[in-house]
Amino acid sequence: MLASFLEKIEQRTAVVGVVGLGYAGLPLVVGFAQAGLRVIGVDVDAGRVAELQAGRSYVEDVPAATIAELVRAGRLSATTDAAALAETDAIIICVPTPLRKSREPDLSFVVAASDRAVALARPGQLFVLESTTYPGTTDEILAPRLAERGLTVGVDVFLAFSPERVDPGNKRFGLKNTPKVVGGVTEACTQAATALYATAVDQVVPVSSPRAAEMTKLLENTFRAVNIALVNEVALMCTALKLDVWEVIAAASTKPYGFMTFTPGPGIGGHCLPVDPLYLSWKLKALNANARFIDLADEINSQMPAHVVELTAQALDEGGGRLRGSDVLVIGAAYKPNISDVRESPALDVLIELERRGARPAYHDPHVPALRIDDLALHSEPLTAERLANAAAVIVVTAHKDIDYDLIATHARLIIDTRNALAPRSTAARVVKL
Ligand SMILES: NC(=O)c1ccc[n+]([C@@H]2O[C@H](COP(=O)([O-])OP(=O)(O)OC[C@H]3O[C@@H](n4cnc5c(N)ncnc54)[C@H](O)[C@@H]3O)[C@@H](O)[C@H]2O)c1
């Protein structure tokens, strides 16, 4: 089985199926198609499938022209019909892994996608899970389903986990030059998955098991979430000590070893950092163990949006005004600069908190034309001198590159700068930094 699989990869005759064509799945589809493999993308979202079939892109990092060319060349196709997976040699699952309202892992997408993929499984196929999840998911969800079909993992079929490391908006590191970690259930599984990814990725890093690969991803994201929480707490300490946290971080960053720069902000956002570490802490709790750093980091990071609104209220108060009834303009709604993704964005929490405290929230974001958060429906407002002058306070939440900070510095009356985005400009306004 392995020799025949490797031969198909070598000859580029293998057909790859990718289930879930979002921020993670789409770059993968394109990467394999560009590597010379035929790729079939499967998604339950008929709109996304139609866009791809028409050669259009809905992910900013993936150019429409690239998709159009691959579709035209017959190397890429998309469908809502999972039956198409029957003709594939490798199936990669990239569906969402969100949290339930109870903040517990929601694996319903992984279960549904696994059911669909495994229903048509045949000997010789490779299955890879890429969705970020707690250690044990590949073994607990995919392996038993394959066994129920009478397929022995490592003998009849191959099974592995490989974490998705895509960093939306990153121009320097993409699929090809970001090393890919792969952990198979058996040595043959790791070999099959390594060979597949090596067609599209410069460096593949094999590890001993799917659990090790699952844990690797959670270590990476927990590392970021914890360090952001640490620097957020240092920002609060600096406020109490009447120090400028940005000056302290810039000075510490001159140390050539043993220090890595993280910057504070209004909270953490995106599909990954606020969510993934909680998958790990949930798993630990199920084992009667603790993940204290994760829980503390979650607590600190979750408090930041309310802290930013409190800073705004205090600054208005000190100027003789008050938050209730005030027009407050938030700059940036996306969870990080230069992208349009608003999932879990702290800007949403800031806007909701402003509304809860009786202010009149508004926002400007060149990447996000409209927003709906519960009952609050807003449109991005044009950034003009008049609009800025009318706002009682302007809160910089996301430091997109294409925002006119000079205009803000000149016309805003009060600026809450959570990203140090206005430095080193001198401003007519009073500036409160995090
Ligand atoms: N977005 C990122 O930057 C990023 C980075 C690293 C890891 N990840 C991980 O990758 C996984 C996917 O995230 P994403 O950002 O691509 O999500 P996404 O919401 O952008 O895309 C997921 C896609 O899966 C589709 N889908 C859902 N259920 C399906 C099913 N049963 N069958 C077929 N398609 C289905 C959805 O319609 C959607 O198009 C998550 O586990 C996430 O944590 C994401």
Q: Within 10 Å of residue 177's Cβ, how many Cβ atoms?
A: 10
Q: Is the CB of 272 under 6 A from ligand 1?
A: yes
Tell me which of 23, 30, 127 to substitute to probe ligand 1's pocket, judged by most ligand atoms within 8 Å of the beta carbon.
23
Active site residues: 272
Q: Give nearest CA residue, ligand 1 atom 25.
A: 20
pLDDT of res. 188: 98
Query: What is the tens place of the pLDDT at every residue in 66-116?
Result: 999 999 999 999 999 999 999 999 999 999 999 998 989 999 999 999 999
Q: The tokens of 159 are what?
A: 């099974």
Chain segment 228-252, per-residue pLDDT in tens: 999 999 999 999 999 999 999 999 9
Ligand 1 pocket mutation pick from 19, 29, 92, 94 by most atoms within 8 angstroms of CB: 94
Gap from CA of 327 to ligand 1 centroid (Å):
36
d(CA 195, ligand 1 centre) in Å? 23
Angle, to 10 degrees, between the axis of helix 2-10 and the axis of helix 187-198? 10
Place of tokens 């958060």: 373
Q: Residue 417 forms beta bridges with which residues?
A: 396, 433
- 369 alpha carbon to ligand 1 midpoint, in Å? 22
Residue ranges, the chain, pLDDT below 50: none
- Cβ(44) – ligand 1 distance below 6 Å: yes
93 CB within 6 A, ligand 1: no
CA 26–ligand 1 middle distance (angstroms)? 9
Could you write out the three-class secondary structure of the chain?
A: CHHHHHHHHHCCCCEEEEECCCCCHHHHHHHHHHCCCEEEEECCCHHHHHHHHCCCCCCCCCCHHHHHHHHHCCCEEEECCHHHHHHCCEEEECCCCCECCCCCECCHHHHHHHHHHHHCCCCCCEEEECCCCCCCHHHHHHHHHHHHCCCCECCCEEEEECCCCCCCCCCCCCCCCCCEEEEECCHHHHHHHHHHHHCCCCCEEEECCHHHHHHHHHHHHHHHHHHHHHHHHHHHHHHHCCCCHHHHHHHHCCCCCCCCCCCCCCCCCCCCCCCHHHHHHHHHHHCCCCCHHHHHHHHHHHHHHHHHHHHHHHHHHHCCCCCCCCEEEEECCCCCCCCCCCCCCHHHHHHHHHHHCCCEEEEECCCCCEEEECCEEEEECCCCHHHHHHCCEEEECCCCCCCCHHHHHHHCCEEEECCCCCCCCCCCCEEEEC
Give the phi and the psi of residue 334 in degrees, each rounded to 5: -65, 160
Tell me what pLDDT residue 271 has.
86
Q: Could you identify the atom of ligand 1 that is nearest to the CA of residue 133?
A: 41
Q: How far apart are CA 36 and CA 13, in angstroms?
A: 9
pLDDT of residue 426: 80
Closest by alpha carbon to 393, among 301, 305, 302, 331?
331
Q: Which domains does the chain have, with CATH numbers?
A: 2-208 (3.40.50.720), 250-433 (3.40.50.720)
CB 205 within 8 A of CB 213: no
* Ligand 1 site, residue 137, Cβ cutoff 6 A: no
Residue from 30, 132, 271 whose mutation best tests the ligand 1 pocket (most atoms within 8 A of CB): 271
Contacts of 92 (CB under 8 A, 6+ apart): 16, 17, 18, 19, 25, 28, 128, 129, 130, 162
Distance 229 CA to ligand 1 centre (A): 26
Cα→Cα distances 184→137, 213, 238, 417, Å: 13, 9, 46, 46
Distance 379 CA to ligand 1 centre (A): 26
For 167, other C-beta atoms within 10 Å of its C-beta total 14
Burial of 413 (0-12, 13-18, 19+ CB in 10 A): middle
Please work out whether the CB of residue 27 comes within 6 Å of at least one atom of ligand 1. Answer: no
